[in-house]
Structure 1
Amino acid sequence: MSRDLSLLLAKKFNLNEEQGQILVTPIRNLNRRQRKILFEELRPKQRDMRIYLEEQYYLQGEEQRQRWVDETVTSIFNNGGEPNTVDALMMEIVGRIEILHRVKKRSIKTQQPLKAMSGSGSFTFFITIVAVLTAVVLLIMNI
C-alpha cells in the first residue's frame, strides 16, 4: 500500500522515480544523498502531500479506509516498527497512537520483536528513567 500511495503522490506532485522510492524507504535506511533529497526537496512538499492524502482518505468508503490503515500497519510492521515517509503521513492522518498500538499488538501476537526505540513510548520511557536516576543521585548528594 505504501508503494500505491507513493505512486499516487508521485503522480500528483510530479515526483521522479528516485523521490518515489525515497518515500517508501525508512529514514534510517536512506544514504546521505537520499536524505539530502528527502529534506531539501520532499519535506517542503510534505504538508501539501498530507493534505492531498487526507482528502483521498476521506473520499474512500469505510472499508477502503480500513484497508489503508491495515496496509500502513503492515508496512510499518514489515520494517520492524520504523515508518517510512508515506507511513508517517498516514499516521498523521489516522493518528499515531492508533497505528503504533496496532503495530505493537501485531508484534505481540506474532511474537516478532520490533527494532529498538521504534515503539510509541520507548524513548519516553528511557528519558523518564534517566531523569528519575538523575534526581535520585542529586538528592543523595545533597543529603
Structure 2
Amino acid sequence: MKTLIQRHNVNGHNLDIRYNKGKFEFAHSQGTHDNGNFVDRMKNEIEASLREDPDLILFLDLQLDGQRHELDKEDLQTRKQQNEYLLPKLQQEFDKMPYIRDMMFNHADPRWKKHTDWPTLGELQKANQRLVVVTDASVIADGNFGKGRIMHNSPS
C-alpha cells in the first residue's frame, strides 16, 4: 500500500481483513491467504505515509464480510453476532495504533456540528483528521469505539 500511496497517489484503499487464530490479518476476499498482520501493516504503511506527508488524506474501506466462513466455527450464526464478537477485538487492535486512531475523521467532533456537508480537504488537514474509515459492519461503526470515527457503508 505504501508504494501505491507514495508513488502512485492512490488515496483510497479497500482492505479485506479477517480474524484468524487470535489476530486480524489482511486477506483477499474469501481467500485464505494471509497478506500480513493488520496492526503491523497499518503502522508500517498507513501511519508511515500519514507521518511523512502532512497534507495526505486517506480513505479506507474495512471489509470484514470476507471472513464469514471463519466465524461460523465459533457458533456465531448471524452477522450481528459475528460483528459483536469482532468489535472488542478490533478496538484492541486500534488501541495498539493510537496515532492512526487519533487521525481518523470523526463526524461527531464538535468542529463538524454546523456542517451540512462533508468538510473540505483543507478542513480535514487543519483538524488533523486525515484518515476517513468506512466499514461493511454496522455494529463496528455503531459501537463505542467506532461511533463517529467509523462510518457504515452498506447494510449488514
The verdict on a shared fold, with TM-score over 0.5 as the criterion, is: no
More strand by share: 2
Q: Which structure is larger by alpha-carbon Rg, 1 or 2?
A: 1
TM value normalised by structure 2 = 0.32
More helix by share: 1
TM value normalised by structure 1 = 0.34
